[in-house]
A and B are shown apart, each in its own frame.
Chain A
Amino acid sequence: ETGVTQSPTHLIKTRGQQVTLRCSSQSGHNTVSWYQQALGQGPQFIFQYYREEENGRGNFPPRFSGLQFPNYSSELNVNALELDDSALYLCASSSTTGMYGYTFGSGTRLTVV
């Protein structure tokens, strides 16, 4: 059984650029959630995908968007990058209800300069 894998591990982008982050969910999990973790803060929920549809969204602007594929893997896209987007982006997968907890990836460290 494989865990959640994210790529790339580190990324540096320039303000105004666009970025795509990728996540493969744990085997048997059909739900993927994305979180942003700024330095010194807890993870903040961005959105969740279930059956290839967005299924809940946190307080993030529309320039944060995502996709889920038939194999349950997912992408997070951020357009028009801002300096404040610099953070660790975490992907978490779960079974449908999530009541049994979430399995997190190691994250992608995004730096916007």
Chain B
Amino acid sequence: AQRVTQPEKLLSVFKGAPVELKCNYSYSGSPELFWYVQYSRQRLQLLLRHISRESIKGFTADLNKGETSFHLKKPFAQEEDSAMYYCALGGYGGSQGNLIFGKGTKLSVKP
């Protein structure tokens, strides 16, 4: 069955420290993976998608099919990065549209 696991409920780091938010997925086909972010009092918004291999707000994520992982990384955390981060899996089944979300990791960046 398709599944997304984010093992850390809460991740707390100091400003300037590196950040890695873990995401593992279970899917036998070709996955489409996304990171979504929700800042306080704001709506869920797309941060990264693996197909574009881009860097947004200093964050990057590499799809590792061997380890079935899509960890989100940033070399130097900023206080404004504090938010809830969700990893999501798409592209399965007959419909391209469904997303399976992990439970999310709350990132807290301390000054």
Mark A residues whose CB is within 8 Å of B.
Answer: 31, 33, 35, 40-45, 48, 50, 55-56, 58, 90, 92, 94, 96-107
Give residues of chain B (38-67) contacting chain A, Cβ–Cβ below 8 Å: 43-46, 49, 51
> Chain B nearest CB: distance from A14 CB in Å?
28
Task: Knowing A42-B102, A42-B103, A45-B99, say if A56 contacts B46 (CB, 8 Å).
Answer: no
Please determine whether A104 and B43 come into contact, CB atoms closer than 8 angstroms: yes
Kindly state the separation between the CA atoms of A40 and B100 in the bound complex, as whole angstroms: 15
Q: Report which B residues bind A (CB closer than 8 A).
A: 4, 32, 34, 36, 43-46, 49, 51, 86, 88, 90-91, 93-104
Apart from the given pairs A42-B88, A45-B98, A45-B100, 4 other A-B contacts in the complex at a CB distance below 8 Å: A33-B97, A41-B104, A56-B93, A92-B99
Query: Which chain A positions have C-beta within 8 A of B94?
Result: 56
Contact A99 B51 (CB under 8 A): yes
B45 contacts A104, C-beta separation under 8 Å: yes
Q: Provided the pairs A101-B34, A104-B43 are in contact, do residues A94 and B97 lie with their beta carbons within 8 angstroms?
A: yes
A40 contact set on B, CB distance < 8 A: 103
Closest to A105 in B: B43
CB atoms of B101 and A44 under 8 A apart? yes
B101 and A99 contacting across the interface, CB-CB below 8 Å: no
CB atoms of B96 and A102 under 8 A apart: no
B49 contacts across to A, CB distance below 8 A? 99-101
